[in-house]
Structure 1
Amino acid sequence: GSCKLHLFQTFIFHNASFVDISAWATLEDIIFASLQKYTQNILYLHPWVYPALPVAEWENLKNLFRIYMHNFVLSLAGDAELYQTPYPFVLQCATGCDLYPNGSYTKFYHLAYNAHNFLSFDVDNSHWERREESALAAQVERQFNNFTGFSVTLQHLLNVTCVDHMKKFIEYGKASLERLEPPVATVFSRMPKPDQLLLVCRVTGFYPRPISVAWLQDGQEVPPGPALNTSAILPNADLTYQLRSILAVAPHDGHSYACRVRHRSLGTRSLLIPWG
């Protein structure tokens, strides 16, 4: 199947001399490494992470990150001063590569300023492009395009290193990626007003994320419509997921209702939880 290796960074510029930096890396939805605050050491969050790459490569990555973050903060602080940018401000970076079953891949680097698109790196052409029309964005675009060494290194990291390392992480992290946790489902009701009954199906504790939750009325699936409201899939603290599906019905309408759950961990079985 497809797989994603993504790196996220947040730079909070409190003032000209204090910047809070946090960074973490994900393989699919597994956070497998993060950066230790202040020391900038890499924390390996699963036992399989460190053995996946040679020791020298981890050292190389650590040094690259240190140089990159030092120069990033230095240049952005300089630009902020030049354009009298008000403190505090936040820069967020998302970068990485996505690998597809046919062997093709995509790669990206996006930068946001105060939660708005700010700058992107066109990896194939090794070129920076601003995503907003502001003096600061134009300056950072100009400056980053002049850092040719940085752009060439980043291009190589995203075109070659990212996919190579991802393949190693997939190999070593197989058990984590293939982990199966079955869903636990409960059905209960609420009555916000006398003529409306809300049937709630709460599904939690499942992994991986993809899941199918449906309501059955007299054994037939209820189609999407205004009476049906399913939440987004949300993360739990224990690296599993949850969601709830709510169906609005008339009280004592004479129909039977059940919540049906399908998930990879259940194989061909379904969970069927009747209401009432």
Structure 2
Amino acid sequence: MLKETSTGKPREQGLVKPSPVQVPGPSANGSDSLYPSGPHTLHYFYTGVSEPGPRLPQFIAAGYVDGQLIIDYTTKTKNAEPRTEWMARNLDPTYWDQETRIFQVNKARFRDAVETLRNRYNQSKGFHTWQFMAGCELLDGRSTGGYWQYGYDGRDFISLDKETLTWTAADTGAQVTKGKWEADRSLAEYGKWYLEQNCVEELRKYLEYGKETLQRKETPEVKVLAKAAPEGPTTLSCRAHGFYPRNIAVTWVKDGETRDQETQRGGIVPNEDGTYYTWAATEVDPKETDLYTCRVEHESLRKPRDFFWVKDSECRCVCCVSGGEEKEATPGKGTVPKRYPTPHCPASTIADQSGLWEPFPLPASGVLPHCNA
């Protein structure tokens, strides 16, 4: 958590610096073996605005672990509040009172920072924002770096290079701040320490607190859909949803070769239940749809899985995964949609949306893929 110190700050910084927190290590010998390979992330975001409104508080602060909101504060709630059960359970009221005081100090400093920069840029009164974000990452139990940066009016303003202890200014207005902060390297040194030590220690602590939630694995449900254009290409869309953790690879493959340059991708976005959703689409010759497969790689899957779209004269079919469960086939009683020669979908089912099925013999050692249509 970003903490308060008694050190003075440049006016436009508008941020209370972090301070040390006592965090128990993952094990007696300092090993990271209790934590899965990751990556795991801890991010903090602060925003101050010049003209708050009914739906926009003057100051907002939020912290996230692996993309999950764990703490927030606004000038409307006036208190730092836990946003997960495991944060509320593991941290006592004294902790939350302390965080509230820190956020209240930051609120005033962000207000002052907006005013300072508005004057520097000779801007009239109006809506302006001052933002800060910082974060770190663990991969295979080790820190892979971090970031510490500021933005003004939705644009990059200045960021820390923790290796050189210098600041990168985005424009001439930020050059003034760069000069001030490089004349006194204490902020840069502090940012480096926070990112490389304190942030990582906090992340380890939170991973331990929330391990039942943060270290779970939920298998993606995958659907392949097709949309034909009159006298044009067919768009194949591969949609994966309900998966956790966040990292996933969804790629289109033709004849064994990935087609990255021909693929359009959506972002990996959160669902309300804490899982994630994403998609990948590609335009193909309508005569070649059967040559394309959607390959999905995820931590919950033992190996990559391929999914395809099947066109039938009477129905449209999708191949999907649901829950990752596998069942042994009964020889001679497997089913696939009409006119489709072989089951290509390991550990899944070919779901025929029209309900038309034909028996198809499977080998005695075959796995009967299944999922709900």
Q: Structures share a fold, TM > 0.5? A: yes
Pairwise mapping of residues 158-197 of structure 1 onto structure 2 (< 5 A)?
Answer: 158=195, 160-197=197-234
What is residue 207 of structure 1 aligned with on the other side?
244
Q: For residues 117-136 of structure 1, give each alpha carbon's deviation from its aligned partner in whole angstroms, at most 9, with x where no partner exists.
A: 212345678x77361333x4
Q: Alpha carbon RMSD of aligned pairs, Å? A: 3.5
Q: 5+ unaligned residues in a row in structure 1: which ranges?
A: none
Closer, same or farther: CA 275–165 of 1 in aligned 2, 3 Å? same
Q: Percent identity?
A: 22
Q: 5+ unaligned residues in a row in structure 2: which ranges?
A: 1-36, 312-373
Which residue, out of 89, 108, 111, partners 1:70?
A: 108
One-letter code aligned to 2:45: F
Which residue, out of 53, 61, 68, partners 1:30?
A: 68
What is residue 20 of structure 1 aligned with on the other side?
58
- Within 2, Cα distance between the matches of 1:124 and 1:269? 37
The answer as to 2:307 corresponding to 1:243 is no
Number of aligned positions between the proteins: 269
Mark the structure with the bigger radius of gyration: 2
- Within 1, Cα distance between the matches of 2:232 and 2:116? 63
What is residue 155 of structure 2 aligned with on the other side?
116
What is residue 272 of structure 1 aligned with on the other side?
307
One-letter code aligned to 1:209: R
Q: For residues 94-132 of structure 1, give each alpha carbon's deviation from its aligned partner in whole angstroms, at most 9, with x where no partner exists.
A: 11333343644634320011222212345678x773613
Q: Residues 110 and 130 of structure 2 are in contact (CA less than 8 Å); yes or no, is this contact kept in structure 1? A: no
Which residue, out of 247, 255, 265, partners 1:231?
A: 265
TM-score (norm 2): 0.60
- Within 2, Cα distance between the matches of 1:263 and 1:22? 34
- Within 1, Cα distance between the matches of 2:72 and 2:169? 28
1:140 CA displacement: 4.2
- Structure in which a larger fraction of residues adopt helix: 1
What is residue 94 of structure 1 aligned with on the other side?
133
Q: Say which structure, 1 or 2, has more relative contact order (CA 8 Å, 6+ apart).
A: 1
Q: Residues 93 and 111 of structure 1 are in contact (CA less than 8 Å); yes or no, is this contact kept in structure 2? A: yes
Which residue, out of 256, 260, 278, partners 1:221?
A: 256
1:137 CA displacement: 2.6
Closer, same or farther: CA 40–123 of 1 in aligned 2, 3 Å? farther
Q: Residues 6 and 97 of structure 1 are in contact (CA less than 8 Å); yes or no, is this contact kept in structure 2? A: yes
The answer as to 2:145 corresponding to 1:106 is yes
SS at match of 1:41: coil
- Structure in which a larger fraction of residues adopt strand: 1
Q: Residues 5 and 26 of structure 1 are in contact (CA less than 8 Å); yes or no, is this contact kept in structure 2? A: yes
